[in-house]
Amino acid sequence: MSISKVCIDTLLNLRKTPHKPRHFTYITTYRCNSRCRMCGIWKGSEPQAFKRELKLEDIKKIFNNPFFSDISFISLGGGEPFLREDIDEIVEVITKSCPELNSITIPTNGLTPRTSMKVQRILEKIESGINLSIGVSIDGIGETHNYGRGKEDAFERGIKLIGELKELEHTYGNLKVGFGSMILPWNVDSLPDLVKLSSEMNLPKPQFWMPLILDSFFKNEEQEPELKFSDEQFRKAMGFLKGYDYRKDFYAFYAENMSRIRSGKTRIIPCFWGYHFLFIDPYGDVYPCSYACKEEYLLGNLLTDDPSDIWFSQKAENIRKTIGKSRACSLCQVNCKFFENITINILPYARYKLYNSRHQLRGKA
């Protein structure tokens, strides 16, 4: 994205107004075959809830709508997205309905059999100009990862999947394979090892993020005690992020935001969830964001309502204002769309950079 485009977007978005979405996250299922210590989705959904998941015909009907004509990026999440046997058909339907689409991201825990075969089926059904990014979760080396994911062979299976996907990269130039890592109290000392692993496997440098206690989505309030960082653990985590040489300044900005929130101050990362990005759950319910997956923030359902009517309704505007004024929003640690949010309104990041530059100059004087 060009600097001029970022500046224009910033000027247009000084006052938040809803736009046809550029990006959306569609949670294809809440089913999950992992047993993560930092997430309770696997134990939080009803046993028969999968029967209410959107069927392929529902998805065709929903996305065959001009409301989605400006979409350039989609994330298909979970649960574990590859538990959907029709994941390739879902991607095919969505790509045909979004003419501006250029990027698809699908995260995976790496535990589902035949995942690489499903990825290949997806690649055979999408145009070569659409990038498909598969991010495998790897939070540590060996037992460190297995402990967090609650599976004794999680690391082995994740690494095996990455190897299979790397083979597909030789055939499909639009496939991008990498791994992402959650920073956790039990892995703060081994974060550099993950960077080394990515280099040894000839992968892009991993993306990192902090855990989030969010019962409305992750169903993990009961797991909060185990996810609390000591002051020393938090200091190590933030020190790592501030020195991380992948998107270095952006990660330092993210670390600054996390430090502010931990000290009781409000977030400085701008947020355009509910204005440029929307969140769709497995049953077609639309929410402003993952934080707001609560009945009082439900905007509507795509099975019964037109997406434009949902998005631009007075009800939606009232909910946006309610969330925006809430204390929970100002302290929100969700880093989804972090980089995209900065490109929509770059001013907070620019102020951060300017302050740091002045501080460094004074230090040299």
Over the stretch 267-324, which tens digit does the pLDDT of each residue have? 887 788 888 889 999 999 999 888 788 899 999 999 999 999 999 999 999 998 888 7
Q: Is the pLDDT of residue 8 over 50?
A: no
CB 169 within 8 A of CB 208: no
Report residue 359's pLDDT band, with 50, 70 and 90 as the boundaries: low
- Dihedral of CA 335/163/146/48: which sign? positive
C-alpha separations of 237 from 132, 142, 249, 347 in Å: 30, 20, 15, 26
HSE value, Cβ hemisphere, 13 Å, CA-based, for 39: 22
What is the Cα–Cα distance from 28 to 81, expressed in whole angstroms?
A: 6
Report residue 138's pLDDT band, with 50, 70 and 90 as the boundaries: very high
Give me the mean pLDDT over the 338-360 stretch.
71
Q: Is the pLDDT of residue 59 over 50?
A: yes
Q: Is the pLDDT of residue 336 over 70?
A: no
Percent of the chain with pLDDT over 70: 90
What is the Cα–Cα distance from 188 to 158, expressed in whole angstroms?
A: 20
Tell the burial category of 166 from Cβ atoms under 10 Å away from its Cβ (0-12, 13-18, 19+).
middle
CB 123 within 8 A of CB 172: yes
pLDDT, greater one: 279 or 355: 279
Cis bond leading into 79, ω under 30°?
yes
Report residue 44's pLDDT band, with 50, 70 and 90 as the boundaries: low
Mean pLDDT of the chain: 88
Residues whose CB is less than 8 angstroms from the CB of residue 106 and which lie 6 or more positions away in sequence, other chains included? 75, 76, 77, 81, 82, 87, 132, 133, 134, 135
Report residue 10's pLDDT band, with 50, 70 and 90 as the boundaries: very low
- What is the side-by-side order of every strand in the sheet holding 277-280? 207-209, 175-182, 131-137, 103-108, 73-77, 23-27, 277-280, 285-287, 300-301
Element (H, E) at 88: helix 87-97
DSSP state of 50: G
Q: Is the pLDDT of residue 363 over 60?
A: no
| Best mean pLDDT range from 3-7, 144-148, 250-254, 331-335 | 144-148
pLDDT for res 335: 66
CB 211 within 8 A of CB 188: no
DSSP state of 222: G
pLDDT for res 329: 76
